[in-house]
Structure 1
Amino acid sequence: MSDALINGLSGAGGGIIAQLITYPLQMVNTRQQTERDTKKEKRKLGTIEQMCQVVKVEGWDRLYSGLTPSLVGTAASQGVYYYFYQIFRNKAEATAFDRKRKGFGDGSVGMFSSLVVAALSGCVNVLLTNPIWVVVTRMQTHKKKSQPHQTPYIASDEAILAAVEPPPYGTDHAIREVYDEAGVVGFWKGVLPTLIMVSNPSIQFMLYETLLKKLKERRALSKKSNNGVTALEIFLLGALAKLGATVVTYPLLVVKSRLQAKQVTSGDKRHHYKGTCDAIVKMIQYEGFYGFYKGMSTKIVQSVLAAAVLFMVKEELVKTTRWLLTKDAINTVR
Structure 2
Amino acid sequence: GYLHAVKMTSEVFSYESLVHAVAGAVGSVTAMTVFFPLDTARLRLQVDENRKAKSTPAVLTDIIREEGLLAPYRGWFPVICSLCCSNFVYFYCFHCIKASWLKGKPSTPSTDLVIGIAAGIVNVLVTTPMWVVNTRLKLQGSKFHNADIRPTNYTGILDAFVQIIRREGVGALWNGTFPSLLLVLNPAMQFMIYEGLKRQLRRGSPRELSSLEVFVIGAIAKAVATAVTYPLQTIQSILRFNKPAEKSKLASSLWAVKSLLVSRVRKYGMLGLFKGLEAKLLQTVLTAALMFLLYEKIASCTFKVMGLSSSHYKKH
1:120 equivalenced with 2:101 (yes/no): no
TM superposition shift of 1:304: 0.4
Label 1:177 to 1:31 Cα distance change in 2 as closer, same or farther (>3 A).
farther
Task: State the AA in 1 paired with 2:300.
Answer: K
What is residue 129 of structure 2 aligned with on the other side?
131
From 208, 224, 235, the counterpart of 1:228? 208
Label 1:180 to 1:27 Cα distance change in 2 as closer, same or farther (>3 A).
farther
Task: State the AA in 1 paired with 2:185.
Answer: S
Is the 8 Å Cα contact of residues 134 and 261 (structure 1) preserved in structure 2? yes
Label 1:264 to 1:16 Cα distance change in 2 as closer, same or farther (>3 A).
same
Distance 1:135 1:110 in 2: 37
What is residue 257 of structure 1 aligned with on the other side?
237
Distance 2:156 2:101 in 1: 43
What is residue 31 of structure 2 aligned with on the other side?
18
What is residue 181 of structure 2 aligned with on the other side?
195
Label 1:47 to 1:72 Cα distance change in 2 as closer, same or farther (>3 A).
same
From 107, 110, 114, the counterpart of 2:108? 110
1:318 equivalenced with 2:310 (yes/no): no
Label 1:57 to 1:324 Cα distance change in 2 as closer, same or farther (>3 A).
same
Segment of structure 1 superposing worse, 131-140 or 291-300: 131-140
TM superposition shift of 1:318: 0.7
TM superposition shift of 1:259: 0.3
Aligned pair count reads: 281
Task: State the AA in 1 paired with 2:228.
Answer: V
Is the 8 Å Cα contact of residues 22 and 302 (structure 1) preserved in structure 2? yes
Distance 2:204 2:58 in 1: 44
Distance 1:236 1:144 in 2: 35
Pairwise CA RMSD of aligned residues? 2.6
Mapping of 1:235-246 within 5 angstroms?
A: 235-246=215-226
TM superposition shift of 1:261: 1.2
TM superposition shift of 1:285: 3.6
TM superposition shift of 1:110: 1.6
Label 1:182 to 1:285 Cα distance change in 2 as closer, same or farther (>3 A).
farther
Gaps of 5+ in 1: 98-106, 147-165, 221-226, 266-272, 328-334
Label 1:60 to 1:172 Cα distance change in 2 as closer, same or farther (>3 A).
farther
Label 1:176 to 1:279 Cα distance change in 2 as closer, same or farther (>3 A).
farther
What is residue 290 of structure 2 aligned with on the other side?
309
From 73, 80, 83, the counterpart of 1:71? 80
What is residue 268 of structure 1 aligned with on the other side?
none
Q: Deviations over 1:257-294 (max 9, x none)?
A: 000113497xxxxxxx9933342343234333222111
What is residue 149 of structure 2 aligned with on the other side?
none
Task: State the AA in 1 paired with 2:267.
Answer: Y
From 257, 267, 291, the counterpart of 1:286? 267
1:210 equivalenced with 2:219 (yes/no): no
Distance 1:280 1:177 in 2: 29
Q: Deviations over 1:15-52 (max 9, x none)?
A: 11011111111111011111223xxxx85322111111
Label 1:206 to 1:144 Cα distance change in 2 as closer, same or farther (>3 A).
closer
Is the 8 Å Cα contact of residues 66 and 171 (structure 1) preserved in structure 2? no
Label 1:194 to 1:167 Cα distance change in 2 as closer, same or farther (>3 A).
closer
1:46 equivalenced with 2:72 (yes/no): no
From 29, 39, 49, the counterpart of 2:42? 29
Higher Cα radius of gyration:
1
Is the 8 Å Cα contact of residues 92 and 109 (structure 1) preserved in structure 2? no
Gaps of 5+ in 2: 1-11, 145-151, 246-252, 309-316
Normalized against structure 2, the TM-score is what?
0.81
Task: State the AA in 2 paired with 1:194.
Answer: S
1:60 aligns to what SS in structure 2? coil
TM superposition shift of 1:90: 1.1
Normalized against structure 1, the TM-score is what?
0.77
What is residue 250 of structure 2 aligned with on the other side?
none
Distance 1:28 1:177 in 2: 26
What is residue 90 of structure 1 aligned with on the other side?
99
Label 1:280 to 1:179 Cα distance change in 2 as closer, same or farther (>3 A).
farther
Is the 8 Å Cα contact of residues 198 and 217 (structure 2) preserved in structure 1? yes
Task: Give the % identical residues.
Answer: 29
Task: State the AA in 2 paired with 1:32.
Answer: L
Mapping of 1:271-282 within 5 angstroms?
A: 275-282=256-263
From 158, 161, 165, the counterpart of 1:179? 165
